[in-house]
Chains A and B, each alone.
Chain A
Amino acid sequence: MAEPLLAIRGLRKRFGGLLATDQVDLNVVEGETYAIIGPNGAGKTTLIGQLAGELRPDAGAIRFAGRDVTRLDAPRRCRLGLARSFQITSIFPDFSALANVALAVQAHAGGSFRFWRPAAGERSLTEPARAVLDSVGLGGRADVLAANLAHGEQRQLEIAMALATKPRLLLLDEPVAGMGLDESQRMVRFLGTLKGHVTIVLVEHDMDAVFTLADRISVMVYGKIIATGTPREVRGNPDVRRAYLGEEVPSPC
């Protein structure tokens, strides 16, 4: 079998007395959408943070696209094709929506030690940015200050910025969190169109989104992966049902 695009081995992260990531092993194959679900505080965001390079694991290794990236910082991992979105919206509020995305295009393109030409006039930056904005449905809002976008639009912008870095692996931390039903369905449909073009690791509480999009699912509880399988397998797993006691897991239908 070919090497997986992302391979995590023995990952561990401790916050004081709390093991937020506990011996996590995980493989993500190129092209698949891999969901990680689990109750609040399970350690999903902490895991994404370590994959993106923002948090340093205490132990373990992360291989991406055939190389060990455990010691690389976040910007370098992003330039290798590992982009993330944030659970708590993180954008450039005082820039227009277009400029937000153009920045991501520029970061990916490199060549930022240029001092003279106005970046806003560089079509090699603004045209790809516009295309990405269009694709997430923000085309009509390009010139609006990011701070003035509605919450759902900011969530779309969040995804657009990650996509504009042309990632091979997209780490999405609750992309539909806080969205209305309509918005969230549109986002899920959009993410569906990415399937096959880009590999996705999806953290999400919205089970409709997870079961629509995921090829495989891992369930995380107290920092541990307690089950991995296809959506069907995970739904039928009694451990999962126990961990989710009181929380929604749609029964097999």
Chain B
Amino acid sequence: MARGRRALVLGVGGLALALVPPLAAALNQPFYVDLFRRMMIFALAAASLDLILGYGGMVSFGHAAYLGIGAYAVGIPAFHGVDNGFVQWGLAIVASGLAALVIGAISIRTSGVYFIMITLAFAQMLYYLGISLETYGGDNGMRLARRSLFGPVDLTNPAVFYYVVLVILVLCLVVGGHVVDSRFGMVIRAARSNEPRARAIGFSPFRYKLAAFTIAGSMGGLAGALLANQTEYLTPDFMHWTRSGEIMFMVILGGMGTLIGPVVGAIVLLLLEDVLSALTAHWQIVLGPILITVVLFARRGLHGLLAGARPRDG
């Protein structure tokens, strides 16, 4: 997407999202603050996956692992009485980045279905590790005693927490937008487009892909730290493979390799879940065909539908 257009969409979208808390207050529907905050957290997770999936062609089927690591990086210190948000969220970013570095170093040497299976296997390993942590609730997980503390910024205030999440999401999208268009971004996009060619002109894609994988993991971890604060609860289920699938679906639904698309994908998917689950207990039966239809008839996702048939520029 052209730079200017991306900035415009980001500005308008950010502004629209900023209006949710006052609107929810005016309509006396505080629930929507909670719902949209949740959407933005998953939007962050989906956008981080898009960095490697859409731009880097790395089909990571274990992205929920970083979400889980980020959540535990908040929950475990909190359990031991460390409530400082900078410590918790910093730990979330570093720990999930390190995990991505290790997982990436092993998985990026493979490709295709092997890459998918290895990333999935690592995420499942972490899932079972979470279950084995009896101190921290085992497979039941544990309650977060209190939300992360950031001095005067009080996350227990729903609107304040909402705007913190919004600012983080917008910042990450701005940074992500620069990264994918930078020299660094061009290397991973070239490797996705045609790796033998990228090598033949002198790129060694491995370390660039690994760096991208690590950045995406860190961003996923940050989303996890936000999610733990959102739910005030954390369980190994954060890392379950179905969660990874859900995040991947948001990316595909919204449009791979667009950054904004996965944000739309996350919002639409969670909105559909919310609306349909209110209508029927069998909402998943209804959701499935809707999603299949979108994927079949809009190959480039919702973003492609909305943006029209413009070619992706390099």
Cross-interface CB contact of A120 among B178, B181, B203, cutoff 8 Å? B181
Interface-lining segment among A59-67, A109-117, A188-196, A214-222? A109-117
Q: A237 in the interface, Cβ–Cβ < 8 Å?
A: no
Q: A201 in the interface, Cβ–Cβ < 8 Å?
A: no
User: Contact: A103 with B201, CB < 8 Å?
Assistant: yes
User: Contact: A75 with B204, CB < 8 Å?
Assistant: yes
Q: Chain B at the A interface: mostly helix, strand, loop or mixed?
A: helix
Q: Which of B3, B201, B204 has its CB near the most chain A CB atoms (within 10 A)?
A: B201
Q: B314 in the interface, Cβ–Cβ < 8 Å?
A: yes
Chain A positions 84 through 117: 1 when the CB is less than 8 Å from some CB of chain B, otherwise 0: 1010001111111001101110111001111111
User: Contact: B200 with A52, CB < 8 Å?
Assistant: yes
User: Given that A99-B314, A106-B186, A120-B181 are known contacts, is A93 also in contact with B199, CB under 8 Å in the complex?
Assistant: no
Q: B80 in the interface, Cβ–Cβ < 8 Å?
A: no
Q: A83 in the interface, Cβ–Cβ < 8 Å?
A: yes
Shortest C-beta distance, A102 to chain B (Å), equals: 8
User: Given that A103-B186, A165-B202 are known contacts, is A116 also in contact with B178, CB under 8 Å in the complex?
Assistant: yes
Cross-interface CB contact of B202 among A100, A107, A120, cutoff 8 Å? A107
A74 to B191, CA, bound (A): 14
Q: A249 in the interface, Cβ–Cβ < 8 Å?
A: no
Q: Which of A79, A104, A164 has its CB near the most chain B CB atoms (within 10 A)?
A: A104
Q: Which residues of A contact B204 (CB under 8 A)?
A: 73, 75-76
User: Contact: B201 with A90, CB < 8 Å?
Assistant: no
Cross-interface CB contact of B197 among A92, A117, A125, A164, cutoff 8 Å? A92
Q: A161 in the interface, Cβ–Cβ < 8 Å?
A: yes
Q: A118 in the interface, Cβ–Cβ < 8 Å?
A: yes
Q: A210 in the interface, Cβ–Cβ < 8 Å?
A: no
Shortest C-beta distance, A207 to chain B (Å), equals: 27
User: Contact: B184 with A74, CB < 8 Å?
Assistant: no
User: Contact: A96 with B314, CB < 8 Å?
Assistant: yes
A78 to B204, CA, bound (A): 10
Q: Which of B194, B196, B314 has its CB near the most chain A CB atoms (within 10 A)?
A: B314
User: Contact: B200 with A115, CB < 8 Å?
Assistant: no
Q: Which of A54, A73, A106, A162 has its CB near the most chain B CB atoms (within 10 A)?
A: A106
Chain B positions 144 through 187: 1 when the CB is less than 8 Å from some CB of chain A, otherwise 0: 00000000000000000000000000000000001101111111
A151 to B118, CA, bound (A): 39
User: Given that A115-B178, A118-B178 are known contacts, is A84 also in contact with B200, CB under 8 Å in the complex?
Assistant: yes
* Pairs across A and B, CB under 8 Å, 22 listed: A74-B200, A78-B201, A90-B194, A93-B193, A95-B190, A95-B314, A103-B190, A104-B202, A106-B187, A111-B183, A112-B186, A112-B208, A114-B184, A118-B182, A119-B182, A119-B183, A119-B185, A120-B314, A125-B183, A145-B311, A161-B197, A165-B202
> Which are the 6 A-B pairs with shortest beta-carbon distances?
A95-B314, A99-B314, A107-B202, A78-B202, A118-B181, A104-B201
Binding site for A on B (CB under 8 A): 3, 178-179, 181-187, 189-190, 193-194, 196-204, 208, 211, 311-314
Beyond known contacts A94-B193, A99-B314, A103-B201: 9 more, CB 8 A cutoff: A83-B202, A86-B200, A90-B196, A92-B193, A94-B314, A96-B313, A115-B179, A115-B185, A119-B182
